[in-house]
Amino acid sequence: MKDEKIHVMLVDDHAMVRSGLSAFLYAFDDLELVGEASGGEEAVRLCGEIKPDVVLMDLVMPGMDGATATQKIKESCPQVQVIALTSFKEQNLVEGAIKAGAIGYLLKDITAEALADAIRSANTGKPTLAPEAAQVLIEATRAPADKLGFDLTDREREVLVLMAEGLNNTQIAERLVVSVSTAKFHVSSILSKLQANSRTEAVAVAIQNNLV
C-alpha cells in the first residue's frame, strides 16, 4: 500500500528558502520532506533516486534553470508532479514552466495552508496557478505581444534605468537590494524583450524609444 504521506522534494539555490520550506512541511502530518537540491542538475539526479511525489521547484537558479530541470524530471520520472515556486510572474517564466510540464505555478508569498493544499492537489493531478500566473496566461492568449517586445515590468524599467547609468549586475543588485542572480535574470529578460544582443544595444534601443 502506498505511504499515506505525500513525499516532497525542495529545489532552491537559497539555503534559507529551503530551511523555511522544510519547517513548513514539518507542520503538516500528511507531508514529508524526502530530499533537497540546490540546483537543477542535482534536482534531476535526486529525483531519479528518491522518486518524490511532488517537487517544489525554484525557477531562477545558476546553472540549469527550473524550467529545464522540470522538463528533464518529467521526461525521466513522468509520475512526479512539479510545482514552480518562485518570486517571479513574468510571462516567459510562467509559459516556460507550464510548457515544461509543471502542474502548478505559485509565488513565494503564498500562505502555508495554500501551499499545502496545492501540494495535495498536485499529488492527485490537479493544477494550481497563482492568480497572477493565471492572469499572465489569459493575457497572453487575448492579445499578441507588442511587436518590439516592449512589455517591460515596472521592475525591469527600474533595472533598465540603472543599466543606462552604466551599473553592472552586482551594482544593480546592491541598489535594488536583491540577489545578483535576480538582477541577472532581469537584465536577461530586458535584452530578450528589447531584442538586443548586449547591454549597450539594449540601452540604445531604450533611449531611441524613450523607455529611460
Q: What is the full per-residue pLDDT of the chain (212 aa) written as tens digits?
A: 355 899 999 999 999 999 999 999 999 999 999 999 999 999 999 999 999 999 999 999 999 999 999 999 999 999 999 999 999 988 889 989 998 999 999 999 999 999 999 999 999 999 999 998 888 876 765 544 444 547 888 899 999 999 988 899 999 999 999 999 999 999 999 998 888 888 888 888 887 777 87
Choose among 193, 38, 178, 18: nearest CA to 108: 18
- What would the pLDDT profile of 99-127 be if each residue is shown by its tens digit? 899 999 999 999 999 999 999 999 999 99
Question: Side chain identity at 54, as an amino acid letter?
Answer: V
Query: Which pLDDT score is estimated for 84?
Result: 97
What pLDDT score was predicted for residue 198?
A: 82
User: What burial class does residue 106 get, using C-beta atoms within 10 Å of its C-beta: 0-12 exposed, 13-18 middle, 19+ buried?
Assistant: buried
pLDDT score at 165:
87
Q: Cell numbers 525557477 correspond to what residue?
A: 59
Domains in the chain, ordered, with CATH? 6-141 (3.40.50.2300), 154-208 (1.10.10.10)
Q: What pLDDT, on the 0 to 100 scale, is given for residue 174?
A: 96
DSSP 156-206: HHHHHHHHHTT--HHHHHHHHT--HHHHHHHHHHHHHHTT-SSHHHHHHHH
